[in-house]
Amino acid sequence: MAEIRREKVYCPKCKKEIEIGMWDVIESPYDKEEKEKVLKNMFFKVHCDDCDIIFPIAYRCQYNDLENKYLIWFVPGMEPKDKKVIAEYEERLKTDNTLRLARGGYRYRLVRTDNELREKVFIFEQGFDDRIIEIMKMLYAPMIKQSVAKDRDIIGIYFDQKKDGKYRWVILLAGMNQPLMMDINMDMYDEMKGKLAGIIDEMLPEGFAYINVLWAREVMKEQVERLEKEKQKEAQTRNA
């Protein structure tokens, strides 16, 4: 059950005090309204009625989908106290039988921003494997970089969907309000899923995993090394 703490935050513009509810966990399918807000990236935002501005707030919060069995922990700061809470939970998953049963077959993920949380929930809602999506993101990265002006920094690349149902990358750029969009060829998804089926399981960290482009890079590096070794072996057999 969700615990909601009443906390005070201050509008960054007029400094007005605004009372908000901070959730320790959002549970799907029960918390429908909150889920919708997460998917619109509006959950971790506060509106000031006086100045009519929306500003972000970030705090540690779990997103638990009981039907699709995944638990995403939004941990913005990752301070020592956060690490402690996560370690304690991971320990309980090993030792607390009730919890272990309740969480059987679960996927555990860690995210650092509300954009990442929205993306993960969206990916899982669509029935995709976020590990393959991150690998595709990595493979698309050079093309995305090429389409962006050299002096623009890419802040984030996120999986998203167009109105016609096709998928796209939303590319956030520093100093630009409008993101850049790029269509995704989803044939690549099945291809990658077939090719990397074993390795993505082997390289999935235990407990709450931070599955992002850096993780994807490690997987592809490992994959290339394995293929190299296989090639060498083949060459040796042929020469023998």
- Sites of contact with Zn ion (CB under 5 A): 11, 13-14, 16, 48, 50-51
Separation between Cα atoms, residue 55 and residue 42, nearest integer Å: 10
* Shortest Å distance, C-beta 47 to Zn ion: 9
Backbone phi, psi, residue 218, to 5°? -60, -40
CB 26 within 8 A of CB 35: yes
* Shortest Å distance, C-beta 9 to Zn ion: 11
User: Which DSSP string do the residues of 59-100 spell out, in sequence order?
Assistant: --EEEEETTTTEEEEE-SS--HHHHHHHHHHHHHHHH-HHHH
* Shortest Å distance, C-beta 23 to Zn ion: 23
CB 140 within 8 A of CB 182: yes
* Shortest Å distance, C-beta 20 to Zn ion: 13
Separation between Cα atoms, residue 227 and residue 86, nearest integer Å: 36
Closer by beta carbon to Zn ion, 16 or else 166: 16
* Shortest Å distance, C-beta 11 to Zn ion: 3
Separation between Cα atoms, residue 41 and residue 158, nearest integer Å: 12
Separation between Cα atoms, residue 21 and residue 31, nearest integer Å: 14
Closer by beta carbon to Zn ion, 3 or else 52: 52
Separation between Cα atoms, residue 156 and residue 173, nearest integer Å: 7
Closer by beta carbon to Zn ion, 56 or else 207: 56
Paired with 74 in beta bridges are: 61, 111
* Shortest Å distance, C-beta 43 to Zn ion: 20
* Shortest Å distance, C-beta 8 to Zn ion: 14
Closer by beta carbon to Zn ion, 14 or else 78: 14
Backbone phi, psi, residue 159, to 5°? -75, 135
Closer by beta carbon to Zn ion, 7 or else 218: 7
Closer by beta carbon to Zn ion, 12 or else 21: 12
What are the distances in angstroms from CA 69 to CA 29, 64, 109, 127, 129? 11, 8, 11, 12, 13
Closer by beta carbon to Zn ion, 16 or else 233: 16
